[in-house]
């Protein structure tokens, strides 16, 4: 009596020739040994139940297990298009690569357990054998047993011709299980990979790296955790290749190095396929190439390759050696300066030879180099164990910006959040702290921070429901490089710690850091510090960056800049006002009065008296003697306006220099308005205000009925201060960009003079064109010219040369056009004439004062 069990053929398909009478199982549990001798055909089980019921039940259980497993596997393992490997129903696998040295691929029986050796034939002749298999993670990922199914058979004889038939015979305990067959072209790979699970992609090449040209079809780059590769802080990147050529695939990167130091190329890598990697470094100019081939095992290795620096740029290439399927995980490829001598943070005079720099006591040294529970860096959460005994904590909600990775000697951590906080805590033996009268704590780290940052070392006691800080110390990270940062507890603190420690189930030593930071942690060491001076604090002197809130720290200059306002101290000399004077005593007196009234200590005035008459000279002398911030320089003979302002500029060292005519009146706060324009627009080089008489910057009108430049009254019959107040409260500044500015009051960023030089005394000895000349020169260098349309400075206009103004203007214009013959004057004039923002402010004033609507 036969029972027929219908079984889905896709689940079990066993080759009748190869498997008759034997239901293949792993060698450890052969079905034949249990008496199962029935013929097993595809899809049916003819089995006499009365005689072999037990065997039948066993077989059914086995079938169910296999069916379950294969159902999971086969669905995602459809053959790749164009695949030519002949499939044996009992064994499955693929012959991926044939080349002049090896045949690569994978092979398995249905249970992924039985195949223990393979024979390889090419065109019917024996080509090689192999009895050990390598791990392929892609197969394991797909559920093919433990993934140890890959083969790479060296070919013992030379191949002739291009087309070959390759057959791989699988054996279990000397018994042949089946075979794979494939027609292959030597040296011609039909597709980039015969591995159906390998999707070629270069999408995940780490930032800063390039795949080597013409080889990207054969390299799959996966980033296990999405981190960047450069530097020592990345997580690992997986490179998978399936090429026939040795050294065919890899990554390259151009890096900058300090030519003053020699460097070390640090590679942290492993290979799951037993491949070697080749690290090739060369100077960017092509000189001094070097390469090193390094065999890799399945465990992570730290490799250090000396690199002699010649040029400031270097090319680093990493390629995978060996043909066939290769999997290389790369955790770090960095070029670092030769490791400096390990140095402790200086502790002061008493600590020139610190006790803790003696041989470390291994019992009290904790290193983040073991991962008993596996390294799991992906998405650390609060409380995650980064390495055995090393834990991560942070403010709730900030976990996503924290990253950790294995580093050459320990663990690399990075927290990118601009305002975050986190803690790396090490669970310590409570008794470790108890053996010394004074206790020292040292973290061996390599800091990647650009400047010294303050961190905290804490000793925390923990019970299930309680955690308390027992002692905390602030220390400063080294600027860069490797160093020990230490905290030394006083005898009193150590005694208190011993007392408190007994109350807690465990003790943790924590390194607390404010983000952003990046560092490698190599070890924590506890040591006796009896010889250290009391009280043992290692807190360093801090500069202006000692704010806790990073947002405040980022704006510290703003916060601190007003500490001296309105006091003179810090703000003094921030602005220099250069005033060239030649007679016009009444104007000069009024101008100086307004400068005195408006000065809150922010500026000093450099008056250049160009041989004025005695009345003006007396006024200047009086001002200079009354106000210590008024400096007076005097010419014995009249050198001219331009020479005077150049003299004034040469006396100034301030970052902002204002050239102010002597026939002006400035309102309160005028200099702040000019400063605001510079601060709001960093590329601004020159700023000028609005005025009653400043050509294109005039308010409310520019031209008289006769077409001359107009000297307006102050609108509304206000004084300059009242009009300025009205302007401040009624107009939101736009600070329009203009091609030229009027020279009666111009504020210059000092860099403009450094960039384009000072005023041209030769071409414009008495002025009238010198300001346009410097405007054009500054604009040509990329500086912006803006009108401070929230500032109004009164200008009496041309008192010094009242009678000769037209003549001087014409002469200046002529020289200007000669000097800047290439300038597009019609466009410049048109831009000024029709400037929409200048028109808007004129309309605003006209609307308020001329149409009676305030």
Partner 1 sequence: MKLAFLLPARAGGGGVHSVVQEAAELSSLGVDVWILVPEKHSLSYRTEYATSLTRRLAIVPYAKEAEIAPAIAEADVAIATIFTSVRILAEALEALERAGGGSSHRPRPAYYIQDYEPLFVEPGTPSWNEARDSYCRIPGALLFAKTRWLCDMVSHHHGLRVEKVEPSLDHDVFYPDLSFSPGERLVVTAMIRPATPRRAPRRTARILNWLAAEHAQRVAVHSFGCPRTELPEHGIELHPKIAHHGHLRREQVAELLRRSTYFLDLSDYQAFGRTGLEAMACGCIPIMPEIGGASEFIRDGINGFLVDVRDEQSIRRTLVGALQLPAGERAALLRAALCASNGYSTRRAALSEIQVLMPRPRVVDPLAKEPARSST
Q: Which of residues 688-727 bind partner 1 (CB under 8 A)?
A: 692-693, 704, 710-714, 716-722, 725-726
CA distance 755 to 289: 42
| Three-class HEC string of 96-134 | EEEECCEEEEEEEECCCCCCCEEEEEECCEEEEEECCCE
What are the phi and psi torsion angles at 838 (to 5°)?
A: -70, -35
Shortest Å distance, C-beta 702 to partner 1: 14
Query: Quick one: how far is CA 269 from the chain centroid?
Result: 23
Alpha-carbon distances of 116 from 90, 120, 141, rounded to whole Å = 15, 14, 21
Residue 561 binds partner 1 (CB under 8 A) = yes
Q: Which stretch binds partner 1 (CB under 8 A): 260-268, 537-545, 575-583, 648-656?
A: 537-545
Query: What part of residues 510-529 is at the interface with partner 1 (CB under 8 A)?
Result: 512
The one among 119, 244, 493, 609 contacting partner 1 by CB under 8 A: 493
Q: Which stretch binds partner 1 (CB under 8 A): 209-217, 444-452, 547-555, 578-586?
A: 547-555
The one among 552, 586, 780, 850 contacting partner 1 by CB under 8 A: 552
**Which C-beta is closer to partner 1: that of 55 or that of 585?**
585
Q: Name the pairing type of β-strands 664-665 and 102-109.
A: unpaired
DSSP 676-744: HHHHHSTTEEEEEEEESSSGGGBSS-SB-TTSSBP-PPPGGG--HHHHHHHHHHH------B-S---TT
CA distance 472 to 453: 16
Query: What part of residues 410-429 is at the interface with partner 1 (CB under 8 A)?
Result: 418-419, 421-423
**Which C-beta is closer to partner 1: that of 370 or that of 562?**
562
**Which C-beta is closer to partner 1: that of 470 or that of 785?**
470
Query: What part of residues 581-620 is at the interface with partner 1 (CB under 8 A)?
Result: 590
The one among 5, 42, 505, 560 contacting partner 1 by CB under 8 A: 560
Alpha-carbon distances of 660 from 647, 753, 785, rounded to whole Å = 14, 16, 17
Query: What part of residues 771-790 is at the interface with partner 1 (CB under 8 A)?
Result: 790
The one among 549, 814, 824, 843 contacting partner 1 by CB under 8 A: 549
The tokens of 206 are what?
């780490």
**Which C-beta is closer to partner 1: that of 11 or that of 556?**
556
Contacts of 697 (CB under 8 A, 6+ apart): 688, 689, 690, 691, 741, 742, 787, 838
Q: What share of the chain is helix, strand, coil (3-state, %, to 5)?
A: 25, 35, 40
- For tokens 């107040």, the residue is 725
| Binding residues with partner 1: total (CB under 8 A) | 86
Residue 554 binds partner 1 (CB under 8 A) = yes
Shortest Å distance, C-beta 484 to partner 1: 21
**Which C-beta is closer to partner 1: that of 669 or that of 685?**
669
Query: What part of residues 427-486 is at the interface with partner 1 (CB under 8 A)?
Result: 456, 458, 460, 467-472, 474
What are the phi and psi torsion angles at 626 (to 5°)?
A: -80, -40
Q: Give the other-Cβ count within 10 Å of 827's Cβ.
A: 10
**Which C-beta is closer to partner 1: that of 353 or that of 551?**
551
Query: What part of residues 55-114 is at the interface with partner 1 (CB under 8 A)?
Result: none
Cα–Cα nearest to 611, from 581, 587, 642: 581
Beta strands in 110-262 (DSSP E): 117-122, 125-130, 134-135, 148-154, 163-172, 175-185, 210-211, 219-223, 237-243, 249-256
Query: What part of residues 354-393 is at the interface with partner 1 (CB under 8 A)?
Result: 393
Cα–Cα nearest to 667, from 763, 568, 591: 591
Query: What part of residues 730-759 is at the interface with partner 1 (CB under 8 A)?
Result: 730-733
**Which C-beta is closer to partner 1: that of 479 or that of 560?**
560
Q: Is 840 exposed, middle or buried (0-12, 13-18, 19+ CB in 10 A)?
A: middle
Q: Which stretch binds partner 1 (CB under 8 A): 48-56, 183-191, 437-445, 553-561?
A: 553-561
**Which C-beta is closer to partner 1: that of 283 or that of 684?**
684
Residue 851 binds partner 1 (CB under 8 A) = no
Q: Which stretch binds partner 1 (CB under 8 A): 125-133, 299-307, 332-340, 792-800?
A: 792-800
Binding mask 647-676 for partner 1 (x = CB under 8 A): ------------------x---x--xx-xx
């Amino acid at each position: 009596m036969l029972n027929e069990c219908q079984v889905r053929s896709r689940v079990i398909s066993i080759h009748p020739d190869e498997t008759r009478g034997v239901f293949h199982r792993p060698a450890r549990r052969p079905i034949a040994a249990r008496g199962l001798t029935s013929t097993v055909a595809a899809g049916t089980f003819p089995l006499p139940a009365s005689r072999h019921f037990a065997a039948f039940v066993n077989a059914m259980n086995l079938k169910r297990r296999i069916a379950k497993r294969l159902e999971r596997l086969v669905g995602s393992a459809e053959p790749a298009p164009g695949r030519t490997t002949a499939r044996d129903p009992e064994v499955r696998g693929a012959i991926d690569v044939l080349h002049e040295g090896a045949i690569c691929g994978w092979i398995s029986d249905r249970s992924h357990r039985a195949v223990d050796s393979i024979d390889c034939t090419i065109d019917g002749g024996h080509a090689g054998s192999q009895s050990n298999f390598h791990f392929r993670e892609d197969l394991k990922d797909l559920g093919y047993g433990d993934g140890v199914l890959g083969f790479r058979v060296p070919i013992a004889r030379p191949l002739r011709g291009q087309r070959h038939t390759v057959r791989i015979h699988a054996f279990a305990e000397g018994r042949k299980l089946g075979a794979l067959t494939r027609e292959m072209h030597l040296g011609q790979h039909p597709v980039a990979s015969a591995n159906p699970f390998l999707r070629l992609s270069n999408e995940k090449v780490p930032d800063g790296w390039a795949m080597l040209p013409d080889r990207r079809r054969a390299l799959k780059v996966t980033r296990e955790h999405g981190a960047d590769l450069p530097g020592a802080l990345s997580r690992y990147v997986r490179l998978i290749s399936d090429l026939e050529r040795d050294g065919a695939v890899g990554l390259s990167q151009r890096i900058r190095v300090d030519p003053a130091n020699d460097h070390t190329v640090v590679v942290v890598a492993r290979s799951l396929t037993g491949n070697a990697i080749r690290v090739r470094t060369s100077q960017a100019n092509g000189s001094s190439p070097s390469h090193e081939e390094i065999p890799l095992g399945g465990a992570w290795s730290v490799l250090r390759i000396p690199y002699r620096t010649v040029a400031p740029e270097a090319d680093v290439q990493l390629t995978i050696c060996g043909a066939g399927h290769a999997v290389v995980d790369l955790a770090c490829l960095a070029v670092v300066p030769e490791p400096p001598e390990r140095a402790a943070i200086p502790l002061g005079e008493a600590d020139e030879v610190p006790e803790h720099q003696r041989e470390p006591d291994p019992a009290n040294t904790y290193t983040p180099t073991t991962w008993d529970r596996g390294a799991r860096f992906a998405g650390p959460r609060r409380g995650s164990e980064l390495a055995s005994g090393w834990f991560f904590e942070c403010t709730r909600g900030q976990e996503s910006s924290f990253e950790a990775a294995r580093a050459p000697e320990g663990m690399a951590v990075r927290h990118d959040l601009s305002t975050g906080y986190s803690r790396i805590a090490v669970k310590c033996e409570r008794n470790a702290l108890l053996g010394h009268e004074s206790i020292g704590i040292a973290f061996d780290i390599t800091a990647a921070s650009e400047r010294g940052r303050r961190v905290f070392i804490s000793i925390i006691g923990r019970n299930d429901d309680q955690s308390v800080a027992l002692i905390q110390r602030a220390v400063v990270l080294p600027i860069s490089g490797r160093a020990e940062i230490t905290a030394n507890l006083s005898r009193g603190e150590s005694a208190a710690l011993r007392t408190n420690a007994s109350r807690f189930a465990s003790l943790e030593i924590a390194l607390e850091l404010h983000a952003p930071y990046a560092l490698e942690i190599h070890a924590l060491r506890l040591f006796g510090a009896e010889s250290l001076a009391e009280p043992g604090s290692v807190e360093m002197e801090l500069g202006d960056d000692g704010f806790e809130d990073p947002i405040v720290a980022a704006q510290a200059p703003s916060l601190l800049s007003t500490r001296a306002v309105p006091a003179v101290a810090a703000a003094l000399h921030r602005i220099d006002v250069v005033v060239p004077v030649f007679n016009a005593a009444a104007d000069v007196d009024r101008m100086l009065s307004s400068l005195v009234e408006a000065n809150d200590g922010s500026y000093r005035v450099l008056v250049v008296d160009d041989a004025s008459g005695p009345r003006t000279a007396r006024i200047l002398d009086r001002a200079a003697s009354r106000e210590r911030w008024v400096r007076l320089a005097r010419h014995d003979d009249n050198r001219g306006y331009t020479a005077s302002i150049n003299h004034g500029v040469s006396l100034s060292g301030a970052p902002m220099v204002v050239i102010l005519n002597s026939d002006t009146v400035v309102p309160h706060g005028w200099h702040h308005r000019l400063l605001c324009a510079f601060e709001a627009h960093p590329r601004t080089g020159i700023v000028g205000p609005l005025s009653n008489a400043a050509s294109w910057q005039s308010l409310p009108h520019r031209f008289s009925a006769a077409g001359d430049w107009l000297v307006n009254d102050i609108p509304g019959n206000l004084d300059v201060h009242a009009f300025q107040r009205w302007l401040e409260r009624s107009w939101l500044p736009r600070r329009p960009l203009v091609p030229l500015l009027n020279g009666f009051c111009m504020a210059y960023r000092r860099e403009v003079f450094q960039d384009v030089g000072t005023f041209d005394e030769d071409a414009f000895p008495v002025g009238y064109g010198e300001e346009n000349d410097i405007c054009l020169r500054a604009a040509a260098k990329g500086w912006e010219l803006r009108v401070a349309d929230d500032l109004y400075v009164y200008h009496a206009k041309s008192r010094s040369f009242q009678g000769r103004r037209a003549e001087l203007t014409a002469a200046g214009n002529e020289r200007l056009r000669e000097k800047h013959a290439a300038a597009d004057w019609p466009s410049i004039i048109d831009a000024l004439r029709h400037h929409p923002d200048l028109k808007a402010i004129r309309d605003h004033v006209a609307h308020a004062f001329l149409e009676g609507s305030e």
